[in-house]
Amino acid sequence: MNSTHSLQLTVYASLLAALIAAGAYLAIPIGPVPIVLQNLFVMLAGLLLGPRWGLGAVAVYLLAGACGLPVFAGGTGGIGRLMGPTGGYLLGYMPAVYVMGWISQKGENRVVTDILAMICGSAIVYLLGVTGLVLLTGMTTGKAVSVGMLPFLPGDALKIAAAVPIVRAVRPVLRLTSGVRLPQPKEIGDTVPAK
């Protein structure tokens, strides 16, 4: 990987970190866990940047929030948010983005594997998030699932549906600007007319 390509990926990771932060501002408080748009951008980070660079984007976002920048839901920040009721969800973004990027790459960025990757990533976030709710609030597992997962499933289905066309539109642009040569039609199997 040359330095220009690394610089471009650093810029993309920084942009996704900023979009994750912006998605946190679009929060609808409905209980201990608000509805936010940030997990859509976490999905995009994993699918567009892959496991390593997607993980870097999420790490930058979480580090900025832990340092006190107001990048978490509702414009809040600080290490206390990572230790609070929504901390499990926030920390769950790290393994989730890595798994989404890995599955997407192994599946050669096909739509079906991208959808599977986002479902697996969402499951990881919910597993850690609901576990955090149980441990930090004393809720029963059933109650934590009913307030920390079930209300968000329809919205996550919509986010996954929205992420698919976004990834399909943006992925070729990232490949062009990162110096990766896209195959020409005759390399794909098209025949060249005889002269």
Is 190 domain-assigned?
no
86 neighbors 129 (Cβ within 8 angstroms)? yes
pLDDT of residue 26: 80
Q: How many CB atoms lie within 10 A of CB 152?
A: 22
The CATH number of the domain where 87 resides is what?
1.10.1760.20
pLDDT of residue 29: 75
pLDDT of residue 178: 54
Q: Whole-model pTM?
A: 0.85
């025949």: which residue's tokens? 191
Distance CA 37, CA 62 (A): 15
Mean pLDDT by groups of 10 residues along the chain of 195 residues: 83 95 83 82 96 96 96 90 92 97 92 96 97 93 94 93 95 70 43 46
Is 192 domain-assigned?
no
Is 194 domain-assigned?
no
Is 187 domain-assigned?
no
pLDDT of residue 123: 98
| Number of domains within the chain | 1
| Residue range(s) defining the domain that contains residue 107 | 3-170
Is 181 domain-assigned?
no
Is 188 domain-assigned?
no
Distance CA 131, CA 118 (A): 20
pLDDT of residue 157: 95
Is 183 domain-assigned?
no
């940047």: which residue's tokens? 49
pLDDT of residue 185: 40
Is 189 domain-assigned?
no
pLDDT of residue 193: 46
82 neighbors 94 (Cβ within 8 angstroms)? no
